[in-house]
Chains A and B, each alone.
Chain A
C-alpha cells in the first residue's frame, strides 16, 4: 500500500505546520504563535509535563474502546444474524442512539463519581452505538449464499461466526472505529476538563487559564499527534486483518 508510507505522513505533518506558520504570520498575535516556537517549547516540556497527561488520555480512550468492542460486537452480531433479536433490539437502539451522550455527563458523574470510570464510560457510550450499527448492517448485507456451504457442512454457530460473520464484518467494523475515534477524542477532551488533574484536556485548559499559549498549543499538537498515532494504528490493524480486500 503506497499511500501509507511514512514519507506521506511526514508530508502531511509538514503541510500542516506550513499552513499554521502562514496563518501565524498573517495574524501576528500571541494567540496564534509560530509553530516553531511551539515545537521548541513542546520538546522542552514534553517529558517533564505532557507525557503523563498523554498517557492518561490514551489509557481512557483504549479502555473506552475496549469496552465498546466487548459489548458492541456481540450485540451487533446478534442483531445482524438473528432477525427476531433485531426486531426487539432495534427500537431500543434507535431510541438511545440519538441521545447526546454528553448531556448524560452530569448524571454519570453523580452515579459513578468524577473519577476514571465516568470518563471511560462516556467514551464507551459514544463509540458503542456506531460499533453496533456498523456490525449489524454489515452482517445483514452478507448474501445468504455465503452461508450455504457452511450450512450444508452442518456447521455450528461458532464456525459460522469465525468463518463468516467475524471476517466479513471486520472492514466495516474498523471503519466504524475510525469514525468513532475522532468523536471519542473530542469528548475525551471535554470530560478531562473537570474532575481530574491528568489528561490532555486538563493540560490544555490549565495552560489556557494561565494564559500560557505556548503550552496550550503544545498540548493541542500532542492531542493531534495522538490522533495521528491512533489512526495509523487502526490502518495498520486493518492491513493485517483485512488484507484479502486489497487483492
Chain B
C-alpha cells in the first residue's frame, strides 16, 4: 500500500518560494498501477522525485506499507525519462546495478539475469553498451533493471514518450505483461491520455500552479485485451480530454 497524505513540496528559488505540489492525497493498493497525467510544470516529476527519495524536503506523509518512504529501507525502482542507464556499463551490468547496490550482491546470478532478459527479449544484448542499442531496447533494459529488483514501488517518468508510436504501443504491452508477472505497485507519469487509460488502474489528473489533484478516476477499462480498438477506449479518452481542458484552462 502506498499512501500519500497532504504532501506539499516547495522550492526556494532565488527571490521567492514556489509551491510545486499542494495537498496531494493518494492511496495505491499493493500491486496496483496509477497513471498521473498533467500539463508540463504541474509537479508530476516532483511527485515522482519525492516517492523516489530524491527530494527529501517536503511536508506531509509518504508511506510504503506503513513506513515512511526511504530509499535505503525500501526497494524503489525509478525509471527516469532518459531511462537512467549508465553509458559506461554494459547492458548486463546496468540490469544488475539494482541488485548490486540494494542487495550487495557482488557476483551476478546469471540464471535470474537470463530469465529477466528473456522476458524482455534482450538476450542478445548483454555485452553491448547503452549507446549501441535503440531507444526501445534501452527502455527494455531499464525495465529489466527495475523488475529484477522486485521493488516495493516502481516509478516511471514519461517512460515511453521518447519512442515512436509503434514502438511505444509495443513497449506498453511489454510493460503490462511483465507487470502482471511481478505484480509491482507502479506509479507512472505521462502526458498521453491513451497511455494513462491503457496502463493506469487509477488515473490521477493534476492541475498546475500549484500542482493539485483535480480528479482521480478508477479506470474501468484497465487490463482488458485489445481495448485500444474498442469504442469505450475512445469515449473515455474523449471525456478525460474534456475534463482536462476544463481543468487546465482555469
Q: Name the prevailing secondary structure of the A interface residues.
A: helix
A40-93 residues with Cβ-Cβ distance < 8 A to B are none
CA distance A244 to B53 in the complex (A): 30
Given contacts A164-B86, A167-B88, contact A151 B52 (CB under 8 A): yes
A146-180 residues with Cβ-Cβ distance < 8 A to B are 146, 148-155, 159, 163-164, 167-168, 170
Task: Say whether B86 contacts A163, CB under 8 Å.
Answer: yes
**Chain B residues with CB below 8 A from A146, complex form:** 84, 86
Size of chain A's interface in residues, with CB distance under 8 A? 20
Q: Please tell me the size bucket of the interface on B.
A: 20 to 34
CA distance A46 to B30 in the complex (A): 76
Tell me the minimal C-beta distance from B104 to chain A in angstroms.
10
**Chain A residues with CB below 8 A from B129, complex form:** 244, 247
The interface of chain A, by Cβ under 8 A from chain B, is: 145-146, 148-155, 159, 163-164, 167-168, 170, 242, 244-245, 247
The interface of chain B, by Cβ under 8 A from chain A, is: 49, 52-54, 70-73, 75-82, 84, 86-89, 97-98, 100-102, 128-129, 131-132, 145, 149, 155
Contact sample, A vs B, 24 pairs, CB 8 Å cutoff: A145-B84, A146-B84, A148-B52, A148-B78, A148-B80, A149-B79, A149-B80, A149-B97, A149-B98, A151-B52, A151-B53, A152-B52, A152-B76, A152-B77, A153-B98, A153-B101, A154-B53, A154-B70, A154-B76, A154-B101, A155-B101, A163-B86, A167-B86, A167-B89
With A148-B52, A149-B80, A164-B86 given, name 13 new contacts (CB 8 A): A145-B81, A145-B84, A146-B86, A149-B84, A149-B98, A149-B145, A154-B72, A154-B76, A154-B101, A163-B101, A244-B131, A245-B87, A247-B129
